[in-house]
Amino acid sequence: MPHAPPLGALLRRYAAGSALACDPVDQGLLNRGYRLRTTRGRYFLKHHFDPETAAPEAIARQHRATQRLAALGVPVAPPLPAHDGRTVAVVGGHAYALHPWIEGRHRHGAQLTGAQCGRLGALLGVVHASLERVMPLQGREGTEKSARAVGGVRTDAGAPDTAPQPQGGRTAVLGPAPARTGGTRADSPRAGHPAERNARTADPDAGSVDAGADPTTTFALIDDLLARVRRHRPADSFDELARHRLLERRALLEQHAGRRPPHSGPVGWVHGDFHPFNLLYRGDAPAAIVDWDRLGVKPRAEEAVRAAAIFFVRPAGTLDLPKVRAYARAYRRTAGATPSELAAAVHRVWWERLNDFWMLRWHYERGDTRADPQFPAASALVVWWTREYDAVCDAFAG
């Protein structure tokens, strides 16, 4: 097995028995995960190695957050403590964590009823409100909003009021896909993506006050990508679509360059990567929110909009606006967010998408084609969103 974890040294630190089987699960870009079966049961073993998120203190902060959320009844899968009480095991210079295996499947928005969309929005709202309660920002009591419904996670939209008993694991990939069972993942190409890095700061409590992407920089990137497309041989259908979308996006940016947002909205602790492959369902109910590597202080309403743009995008690149509306109303109610906050977040995420070419950069700069299947819908969504801007705002804020 490539990159085989040091099971003997690791398991000696836990009351988890002896290893019987260890299989890699959806190895991705950021970290690696393994489905581990021992004489004591089934576990998810996570190898943290992404330099941006693998510092033991950062992992420990993620672990504290999920432990505190679990105590409030939020469906998460906190790590298991070792004999010494620590949840991060460093062996040979590498950081590992052992989690219960959460059995479940992933569900995209197309597989959710209207009521379940409301439940999803309520769940994210509860996550944000609960994080505000258990991880107040340094130097102040919290963010601008008071937490709502954080004594448990039952909400008007029907989120569960007790955490499920851990039984299984998780999985993550990019964008829409059929429901899958079982699973744990190692942190795959992120559905939310690198544009979020524009809001990242060295201090996890600092928050983001950045302006939106600079269109001047984007125009230069478009020119560079167009040159790469021209040089690619043999040319194929992906090149043809990429060229079309790049020219189309340049025209849209020229038309809307004056709409650059000046600053971000209210910030607070957020999951940072909330999308279908970081949420496991057992039956019709969420069983666990997983992969908290991107936990950080960022604009909360923007996470709600980004998540909806992933959960509810259709193959043709449109959003299912009735489902977005049900989701957003429940989110606003449980997070205590105002319609104006959601409208501002819609504008910032739209602008972010308008200036973002991460899939093409992976393809042409890295030779990494894993995001290629998602490019047609994602690139069409930007165009449709621009045309239907008012309707999208109304769905989130109405």
Give pLDDT, residue 28: 53
Nearest to 309 by CA among 162, 180, 176: 176
- Asked if the model's pLDDT at residue 74 lies above 80, the reply is yes
Q: What is the pLDDT of residues 260-294, one digit of tens each?
A: 998 777 899 999 999 998 999 999 999 999 999 99
* Maximum distance among all Cα pairs of the chain, rounded to whole angstroms: 63
- Please report, for residues 27, 50, 283, 286, 358, the alpha-carbon distance to residue 188 in angstroms, rounded to integers and kept in the order given: 7, 11, 24, 21, 15
Cis (ω within 30 of 0) for the bond into 2? Answer: no
- pLDDT attached to residue 30: 61
Q: What is the pLDDT of residue 192?
A: 41
Lowest mean pLDDT among 133-137, 190-194, 370-374: 190-194
Tell me the average pLDDT of the chain. Answer: 83
What share of the chain has pLDDT > 90, as a percent?
72
pLDDT of the residue at 181: 37
Cβ atoms within 10 Å, residue 20: 11
**Cβ–Cβ < 8 Å for 179, 105:** yes
- Considering only 61-75, 82-96, 202-216, which range has the smallest mean pLDDT? 202-216
pLDDT of residue 32: 85
Give this prediction's pTM.
0.82
Q: Which of 218-222, 328-332, 370-374 has the lowest mean pLDDT?
A: 370-374
CA distance 311 to 396: 14
Give the residue-averaged pLDDT of 288-310: 96
Helices (H), 195-315: 215-231, 237-256, 300-311
Which tokens go with 304?
């709600």
pLDDT band at 237 (very low <50, low <70, confident <90, very high): very high
Average pLDDT of span 79-107: 94
The CA-based angle 107-187-264, given to 5 degrees, is: 85
Cα distance between residue 232 and residue 395, in whole Å:
40
pLDDT of residue 20: 96
pLDDT digits (tens, 9 = 90+) for 146-196: 333 333 333 333 333 222 333 333 332 223 333 333 443 333 334 444 333
- Asked whether 302 and 345 are in contact (CB, 8 A), the reply is yes
pLDDT greater than 70 at residue 92: yes
Q: Is the pLDDT of residue 100 over 90?
A: yes
For residues 200 and 355, give the distance between their C-alpha atoms in angstroms, rounded to a whole number.
Answer: 17
With both helix axes pointing from N to C terminus, report the angle between 56-71 and 114-134 in degrees, rounded to the nearest 10. Answer: 120
Share of the chain above pLDDT 70, in %: 79
Average pLDDT, integer, range 49-67:
88
